[in-house]
């Protein structure tokens, strides 16, 4: 098949990029996002931007419906919720003292409500059901923008994690390509592992990542033999490390798709040729695909996010 060695090197690269992306996403979700309560904080920032009144935001978060969504809600210091449904948000907001005072008499309300909320209430024409519906729509549109904030935040974290891991493990794209091109044993081992990952869907857990690491360990890591000997060697090393980092920042779903396409293309057989003795007989040629598990229709996307993320805090 055309360029089989080149294709196998491409499969190896996509597999390593997928592994690093999954590793960065797992660290972000299991460690960084939990430790810094990233989802809840970005959700709160979105609500603050939405209501533009710290007092109103505090009343909203003190509402029993919102506190009931918090982790350790019964304790003295509950964690802020990372997900607030639109209907609960609307009911809690309309139940706050600030909004109730405004609805009784807008002219005598001691604390003015945000202009956006004022327009939402006025457009309902004193219809309580329409007020709630308008607030839900307003909240959902705001959360769409908050999702973008979260994705950008996660992308920065994934990029930083990718840079640290890439430099720490010395996963240099240029050197990695050279190693796969010259070492058929390692290339075959990595391609075999990549085919298994594509057929069974890669595991983002630490156990699954450890198994993948064992496959690529022979071609990564720092040693005296991997240190550049001159200035241009260091330039190539830095370029290779940055190339790996930028590739990892594209996210696991992207590299999972690329890996599946490479493997599907590699698994496609060549069209059968007609022999000299049967040249006159009509033969219908059919392109063979080796194994149902190698077809794109049998492969599902991994449950992971890129921007890493893993689920942006849309309505969350």
What was the pLDDT predicted at 54? Answer: 86
What was the pLDDT predicted at 265? Answer: 80
In the listed set 152, 180, 200, which residue is the last one of a domain according to the structure? 152
Question: Is residue 103 located within the same domain as residue 221?
Answer: no
Domain assignment present for 164: yes
Of 23-27, 117-121, 192-196, 245-249, least confident by mean pLDDT is 192-196
Question: Is residue 181 located within the same domain as residue 236?
Answer: yes
Domain assignment present for 303: no
Question: Is residue 72 located within the same domain as residue 208?
Answer: no
What was the pLDDT predicted at 309? Answer: 46
User: pLDDT band at residue 224, thresholds of 50, 70 and 90?
Assistant: confident
Question: Is residue 14 located within the same domain as residue 84?
Answer: no
Nearest by Cα to 19 from 281, 204, 277, 254: 204
What was the pLDDT predicted at 302? Answer: 42
What was the pLDDT predicted at 4? Answer: 78
What was the pLDDT predicted at 175? Answer: 87
DSSP 32: I
Domain assignment present for 316: no
Of 12-26, 28-42, 58-72, least confident by mean pLDDT is 58-72
User: pLDDT band at residue 76, thresholds of 50, 70 and 90?
Assistant: low
Question: Is residue 120 located within the same domain as residue 229?
Answer: no
User: pLDDT band at residue 284, thresholds of 50, 70 and 90?
Assistant: very low
**Residues 239, 241: Cα–Cα separation, whole Å:** 6
Domain assignment present for 191: yes
Angle between helices 184-200 and 173-182 (to 10 degrees): 110
Question: Is residue 199 located within the same domain as residue 91?
Answer: no
Tell me the pLDDT of the chain averaged across its residues.
Answer: 77
Question: Is residue 171 located within the same domain as residue 276?
Answer: yes
What's the total number of domains in the chain? 2
Question: Is residue 192 located within the same domain as residue 49?
Answer: no
Question: Is residue 176 located within the same domain as residue 267?
Answer: yes
Supply the range of the domain harboring residue 48.
38-152
Contact 276, 24 (CB under 8 A): no
- As a whole number, mean pLDDT of residues 240-249 equals 94
Domain assignment present for 101: yes
Residue 265, both tokens = 């293309």
Question: Is residue 287 located within the same domain as residue 169?
Answer: yes
Percent of residues, the chain, with pLDDT higher than 90: 27
Question: Is residue 231 located within the same domain as residue 244?
Answer: yes
Domain assignment present for 305: no
Of 27-36, 72-81, 296-305, least confident by mean pLDDT is 296-305
User: pLDDT band at residue 223, thresholds of 50, 70 and 90?
Assistant: confident
- Please list, residue by residue across 95-132, b when 16 or more beta carbons sit within 10 angstroms of its beta carbon and e when fewer do: ebebbebbeeeeeebeeebeeebeebbeebeeeeeebb
Question: Is residue 8 located within the same domain as residue 43?
Answer: no
Domain assignment present for 283: yes
Pick the more confident residue, 311 or 219: 219
pLDDT at 278 over 60: no
In the listed set 103, 125, 152, which residue is the last one of a domain according to the structure? 152
Cα–Cα separations (whole angstroms), residue 87 to 93, 130, 264: 10, 12, 45
Domain assignment present for 307: no
The residue to which tokens 């796969």 are assigned: 180
């Amino acid at each position: 098949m055309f360029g089989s060695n080149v294709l196998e090197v491409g499969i190896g690269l996509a597999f390593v990029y997928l592994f690093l992306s999954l590793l960065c996403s797992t660290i972000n979700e299991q460690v960084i996002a939990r430790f810094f309560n990233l989802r809840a904080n970005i959700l709160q920032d979105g609500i603050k931007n939405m209501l533009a009144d710290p007092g109103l935001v505090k009343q909203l978060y003190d509402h029993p419906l919102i506190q009931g969504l918090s982790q350790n809600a019964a304790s003295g210091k509950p964690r802020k919720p990372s997900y607030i449904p639109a209907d609960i948000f609307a009911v809690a907001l309309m139940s706050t003292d600030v909004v109730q005072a405004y609805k009784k008499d807008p002219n005598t309300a001691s604390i003015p409500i945000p202009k956006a909320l004022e327009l939402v209430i006025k457009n309902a024409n004193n219809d309580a059901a329409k007020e709630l519906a308008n607030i839900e729509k307003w909240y959902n549109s705001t959360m769409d923008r908050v999702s973008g904030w979260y994705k950008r935040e996660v992308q920065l974290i994934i990029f930083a994690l990718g840079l640290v891991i890439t430099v720490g493990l010395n996963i240099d794209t240029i050197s990695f390509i050279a190693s796969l091109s010259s070492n058929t044993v390692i290339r075959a081992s990595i391609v075999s592992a990549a085919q298994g990952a594509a057929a069974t869907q890669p595991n983002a857990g630490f156990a699954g990542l450890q198994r993948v690491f064992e496959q690529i360990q022979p071609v990564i890591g720092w040693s005296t033999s991997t240190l550049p000997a001159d200035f241009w060697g260091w330039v190539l090393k830095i370029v290779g490390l940055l190339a790996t980092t930028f590739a990892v920042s594209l996210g696991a779903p992207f590299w999972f798709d690329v890996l599946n396409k490479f493997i599907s293309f590699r698994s496609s057989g060549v069209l059968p040729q007609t022999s000299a003795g049967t040249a006159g007989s009509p033969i219908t040629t059919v392109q063979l695909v080796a194994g149902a598990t190698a077809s794109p229709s049998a492969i599902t996307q991994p449950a992971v996010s890129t921007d890493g993320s893993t689920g942006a805090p849309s309505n969350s």
